[in-house]
Amino acid sequence: MRNFISLELKKIRNKSTAIIGLLFLTIILIPLFQTARSIDVLDDEGTIHSGIGGWDILRERTVEGTMTTDYLLQMKQNYENSVDKPYIEGEVDTDRKLGKKLMFPHDMLNWELNFPYEKYRVLDNSLNLTNEQLASFYEDWKGSFTEYLSNEQNLFPYTEEQIEIISEKMQKVSTPFVFKYDSGWEYLKISLLDTIYLFFMFLAFILCEGFSRNGSKGIDKVTLSTKESRRKLISYKLGAASVFSTIAYFAYITIVLLFVAVVYTLHGWDSSVQIGTTTFYSMNQLQEALLYIAMGYFSTLVVTHLILFLSVIFKRGKLVLAISLIYFYLVNTYQMGRGALIEKVMVFMPQNFINNLIGIEKLYFVGNTVFPYVFVALFLGTVYILLSRIGISIWMRRYYLQ
């Protein structure tokens, strides 16, 4: 079987694949550079710095530590004496050239500290809490989610009983949190969300033509020369496509990781995932990142099967490519849509299987058991793969009879 997989891979192992790969590598890097250059920060003297170099200043100015009461009180004192305060509180205009906004080293920390005390949970990166509020932060934080989820403006689809279950889970979150500069891990998730559809487009370019035809290089004569090879043709095609997609995905992830490591660093892997994410799962940034990378790979396998299914049905690589590109573009364009119909549909899209995997905004219930979206995505993806395999099997029985 390995020999036949190698023959199937021959269809896509050529100069065109290399050229398309280099082209998509360049395209994928464009949104990454745009994100990296969009930062403005202040140094210790209050001078504004723009671009990629600003991340170094942001990292240097971040005071890390375990979020005990003493630490929080010290952060409040630092805020009172910081060069950031006049900008954060509007005494100095924060509008920058090209519409950029200043970023501050304690944005995520301050937003987290303000969360229990904001009526509608509006992001606020000032730190004007009282000493009493800081001392009771964890108690207030754990008790604030009932009100947050019950707020009609947030449109959460939870019943009162489900909100009570979520609130009970929040009570069990491990504290105190750890705060560190961890922009690299946050931007790893952002980079994955911003570029995964481009990677899927790359797969469509490579797989749809190579697997919709079998006359290339006389490989069909070899593949169909025996009864055994004809019987296992589906496995050969799926195996070869999965091998290629696996290699391509981890090359893609390596590129994203290298970019993130160079620009933001991968410092702060052990900081608490609760900083910036509303979740009752006690994880660190590294564990969450590995979850996102794994789900990105799973999504890649789902998309690979869907592309092969379309290729077997239409047998025309250009048509399959056009359908795939339109689909990936539309999902990426409307994935953040707020319409009721769009929200209901987007949850089923493989491209969204790496979006908000463990946050309380996307939880699902079976009785009194609660599941994060990652389990829903795994279930949906498994169903898609199985259906694709069944569909491919049915169509392949008549594949060479037409």
Determine what percent of the chain is predicted with pLDDT higher than 70. 81
C-alpha–C-alpha distance, residues 327 and 348, integer Å:
13
More confident residue, 339 or 349: 349
- Residue 50's φ and ψ, nearest 5 degrees, are -120, 155
Angle formed by the axes of helices 233-263 and 183-210, nearest 10° = 150
Q: Are 182 and 267 in contact (CB under 8 A)?
A: yes
Tokens 């309380």 correspond to 360
- Please report, rounded to a whole number, the percentage of residues in the chain having pLDDT higher than 90: 40
| Beta-ladder partners of 48 | 42
pTM given for the model: 0.87
Q: Does 64 or 17 have the greater pLDDT score?
A: 64
* Residue that wins the pLDDT comparison between 156 and 356: 356
Q: Determine how β-strand 48-50 pairs with β-strand 40-42.
A: antiparallel
How far is residue 131 from each of residues 69, 128, 157, 232, 246, measured CA to CA in Å?
Answer: 9, 9, 35, 70, 52
Asked if residue 318 has pLDDT above 50, the reply is: yes
Domain boundaries, the chain: 2-36+181-396, 63-179
pLDDT value of position 397: 64
Q: Indicate whether 402 pLDDT > 50.
A: no
How far apart CA 134 and CA 73 sit, in angstroms, is 7
- Res 39: pLDDT: 82
Mean pLDDT, the chain, as a whole number?
Answer: 83
Average pLDDT over residues 8-18: 68
Q: What is the pLDDT of residues 136-179, one digit of tens each?
A: 999 999 988 888 887 655 567 788 899 899 999 999 999 999 99
Predicted confidence (pLDDT) at residue 1 exceeds the cutoff of 70: no
Q: Say if residue 176 is preceded by a cis peptide, omega within 30 of 0.
A: yes
Higher pLDDT, 305 or 157: 305
Average pLDDT over residues 194-203: 89
pLDDT tier for residue 401 given thresholds of 50, 70 and 90 = very low
Is the predicted pLDDT of residue 252 greater than 90, yes or no?
A: yes
Going by pLDDT thresholds of 50, 70 and 90, the confidence category of residue 8 is: low
| Cα–Cα distance measured from residue 190 to residue 195, given in angstroms and rounded to the nearest whole number | 9
Q: Say which residue, 34 or 270, is predicted with more confidence.
A: 270
- Model confidence pLDDT, tens digit, residues 41-67: 888 888 888 888 888 899 999 999 999
Q: Is 66 left (phi over 0), alpha (psi -120 to 50) or beta?
A: beta
- Which residues on adjacent β-strands are paired with residue 101? 95
Identify the residue with better confidence: 335 or 192: 192
For residue 200, the tally of other CB atoms under 10 A from its CB is 26
Cα→Cα distances 79→109, 115, 129, 135, Å: 11, 17, 11, 17
At 217 the pLDDT is 47
Q: What is the pLDDT of residues 319-339, one digit of tens each?
A: 888 888 888 888 777 765 555
Residue 169: which of 281, 288, 287, 283 has the closest Cα? 281
**Given this model, what pLDDT does residue 98 score?**
44
By CB atoms closer than 10 A (0-12, 13-18, 19+), residue 241 is buried
For 101-112, the pLDDT digits (tens) are 788 999 999 999
Q: Cβ atoms within 10 A of the Cβ of 398, count?
A: 8
**pLDDT tens per residue across span 226-247:** 555 555 667 777 888 888 899 9
What counts of helices (H) and strands (E) characterise the chain? 18, 6
Give the model's confidence band at 3: pLDDT under 50 very low, under 70 low, under 90 confident, else very high.
low
pLDDT score recorded for residue 218: 47
Residue 204, C-beta contacts closer than 8 angstroms, at least 6 positions apart: 307, 320, 321, 324, 325, 328
